[in-house]
Amino acid sequence: MNRPILFLLALLLLPAAAQPDDSRSITLNLPPESLGQWYRPVAKRDVWLHTMFALRREMQAVAEYSALGDSRRLGQWLERLEADYRKIGEMVPEWQDELELELFERMRKAGSPEALARLQRKLRRSCQGCHREYKLVAALRYRTPDFTTVKVESSESMEEETYSAVMKRLTLLVNRVKIASVDGRRKAALDALDALQVRLADLGESCQACHKESAARERILGKAAGDSLTHVRAGIESDDVRSTGRYLGEFAVRVCADCHAIHRLQSDLRRLLSKR
Ligand code: HEC
Ligand code: HEC
Ligand code: HEC
């Protein structure tokens, strides 16, 4: 929440004639397309990420056995480290030239733990260089849930709808409840509320596309959400505009905003980064 506000403030405080300048924008580089094949659903598991975890472990083992003076195990782990480091260029050929492969020959010949540690620091710089540029973008692009492929089945029309379409409909219905209740159109408000509850139940069925357990659904669409809407209904039926508004707001936070904080931000970022 803070950042957009700070950003707006910064804009307001700029002299009116100021042009947008570079300090107000950042550039993100997309990783090469070939990285995508090492992630689900193209791959069976997130092979790339697991290779990275292996690299981190191998770096640690090399440092520890070097310090312990255990040259046999050190040799074994250096071999694994090199093999996995080479895989980077095999998996993503565009990154082949970024690798510091010549360091391994020198690491094998390092005469002391200190010399080896220095070479490992050099290697780590090559890890960090790539991470600075691509790590965040790759994680968002390939490891956040993809809502563009999830369908929600409408229990009225029996048709499958996209998340985006369902969301627009939910927004319309929430606002229709609000408008009709403010203007004392009780029947229109109740009709919209009924439709909203049907749509929410349909949305709830879609959670299981990714969530095997019902806990996630319950947390967002469960009792708390139902209680808010029960109060909204009571408010409409008794023409209590203030109470209706209050509980409709509570519902919007508990259901819409809470789920958006988890899923919509990521989904929007993924969509942005998936543009070619
Ligand atoms: C040419 C690019 C590149 C190089 C070189 C590279 N990585 Fe990575 N690494 C990545 C990308 C991209 C990710 C993000 C993967 C993801 O989150 O799905 C990543 C993620 C990781 C992660 C997971 C990070 C986390 O957030 O927990 C670890 C650990 C890691 N790398 C270790 C290493 C080590 C150790 C080296 C060097 C020996 C290395 N990497 C070299 C590209 C690279
Ligand atoms: C496309 C896949 C996908 C769909 C569909 C989906 N989720 Fe999730 N959800 C995830 C993943 C993956 C995580 C865990 C990591 C994260 O935060 O992205 C998660 C995390 C959550 C969390 C926080 C962790 C937890 O389990 O309490 C909640 C709450 C949640 N989802 C609610 C929902 C609800 C409610 C729905 C249906 C209306 C839903 N999700 C639909 C993929 C999905
Ligand atoms: C799964 C949890 C979840 C719940 C609950 C939820 N949303 Fe969303 N909403 C999303 C996701 C994910 C997107 C992004 C969809 C996409 O990128 O296709 C989204 C997008 C939207 C959008 C933008 C749609 C577009 O494509 O322009 C609106 C508006 C919206 N939601 C309104 C609501 C309202 C109002 C509620 C509450 C009545 C609500 N949402 C409840 C997850 C949720």
Supply 59's token pair: 């770096």
Can you tell me which residue has the tokens 């970022």?
A: 269
pLDDT for residue 145 is more than 50: yes
Residues in contact with 269: Cβ distance below 8 Å, sequence separation at least 6, in sequence order: 140, 144
pLDDT for residue 174 is more than 80: yes
Residue 231 beta carbon below 6 angstroms from any ligand 3 atom: no
Distance separating alpha carbons of residues 182 and 202, to the nearest angstrom: 27
Can you tell me which residue has the tokens 């975890």?
A: 53
Can you tell me which residue has the tokens 């019902």?
A: 214
pLDDT for residue 248 is more than 70: yes
What is the best residue among 199, 207, 258, 260 to mutate for testing ligand 2's pocket, by most ligand atoms within 8 Å of CB? 207
The average pLDDT across 15-36 equals 78
What is the best residue among 167, 218, 268 to mutate for testing ligand 3's pocket, by most ligand atoms within 8 Å of CB? 167
Written as one letter, the residue type at 150 is: V
Residues in contact with 127: Cβ distance below 8 Å, sequence separation at least 6, in sequence order: 55
Residue 139 beta carbon below 6 angstroms from any ligand 1 atom: yes
pLDDT for residue 40 is more than 60: yes
The average pLDDT across 58-72 equals 97
Residue 127 beta carbon below 6 angstroms from any ligand 1 atom: yes
**pLDDT recorded at residue 4:** 52
Query: Rg of the chain's alpha carbons, rounded to an integer?
Result: 27
Closest CA to ligand 2's atom 33: 216
pLDDT for residue 20 is more than 80: no
Which tens digit of pLDDT belongs to each residue from 192-234?
999 999 999 999 999 999 999 999 999 999 999 999 999 999 9
The average pLDDT across 238-265 equals 96
pLDDT for residue 7 is more than 90: no
Distance separating alpha carbons of residues 141 and 163, to the nearest angstrom: 18
**pLDDT recorded at residue 3:** 52
Contact 116, 241 (CB under 8 A): no
Confidence of residue 21 (pLDDT cuts 50, 70, 90): low
pLDDT for residue 164 is more than 90: yes
Q: Which ligand is nearest to the CA of 207?
A: 2
**pLDDT recorded at residue 257:** 97
Closest CA to ligand 1's atom 6: 127
Supply 168's token pair: 């627009």
Mean pLDDT over the full length of the chain: 92
Reply yes or no: is the peptide bond before residue 32 cis, omega within 30 of 0: no
The average pLDDT across 137-157 equals 94
CA distances in angstroms from 116 to 65, 71, 83, 105, 218, listed in the order given: 11, 12, 18, 11, 53
Supply 244's token pair: 């209706």
pLDDT-above-70 percentage for the chain: 92
pLDDT for residue 165 is more than 60: yes
Distance separating alpha carbons of residues 261 and 33, to the nearest angstrom: 28
The average pLDDT across 16-25 equals 64
Residue 56 beta carbon below 6 angstroms from any ligand 1 atom: yes
Reply yes or no: is the peptide bond before residue 41 cis, omega within 30 of 0: yes
Distance separating alpha carbons of residues 39 and 42, to the nearest angstrom: 6
